[in-house]
Amino acid sequence: MRKVVLAAMVLVTASCKTVKVYYDYDKQADFSNYTTYNYYPDMVTGLSQLDENRLFEAIDAELQIKGVRFSEDPDFYINIKARFFEPVRNSSVGLGVGGTGRNIGGGVSIGIPVGQASQHREIRFDFIDSKKDELFWKAVSESTFNGNMTPGKREARLREIVAKVLAKYPPK
């Protein structure tokens, strides 16, 4: 019985830390034309300068593996936007008190949230054709965020996010 409980706890903990990624792209785009990239000028990512640098290093490494190289005159620009949020919690405990009498009724109910609030981070990656100024590929990642992570763990987490985001680039 202990093994079942332990396995369930590990599964729940692991599922909370997963990175979810949503993709969209222009079906008409010829991805073989996009061999060079740069970051969108004057981009405001919403990340700290240190996390922004870690993210750029992770993107550079992943795209280099795919044969896409950084250029001052790129085929496409990458625009990145991050936002932090607390997801809506659906778990709560309700307490109620009520009474009835002759033609009189009443009740009180209180919902108490269960569990701690967690912070999530959404990072949106937009790939924009530099000549047409049109979006041709987009990915949105969603994951939990802990502001108290060490620099090494932050870097590892951002590398995990980028690897999962770019796993389906270019689309097949």
Helical pair 49-65 and 151-166, crossing angle rounded to 10 deg: 40
CA 57 – CA 158 distance, rounded (Å): 10
pLDDT band at 147 (very low <50, low <70, confident <90, very high): confident
pLDDT at 87: 73
CATH match of 19-85+117-172 with 2.130.10.10: no
Q: Taking 50 as the threshold, does the pLDDT of residue 15 lie above it?
A: no
pLDDT band at 160 (very low <50, low <70, confident <90, very high): very high
pLDDT at 9: 45
Give the pLDDT confidence of 66-81 residue by residue, as tens digits. Answer: 999 999 999 999 999 9
How many C-beta atoms lie closer than 10 Å to residue 132's C-beta? 10
CA 168 – CA 162 distance, rounded (Å): 11
pTM, full prediction? 0.74
* Cross-strand pairs, 128: 77, 135
What's the chain's average pLDDT?
84
The domain locations on the chain are 19-85+117-172
Provide the H-helix boundaries in the chain.
Answer: 2-16, 49-65, 151-166
Phi, psi of 120 (to 5 degrees): -120, 155
Give the pLDDT confidence of 88-138 residue by residue, as tens digits. Answer: 655 555 555 555 566 665 555 565 555 555 789 999 999 999 999 999 999
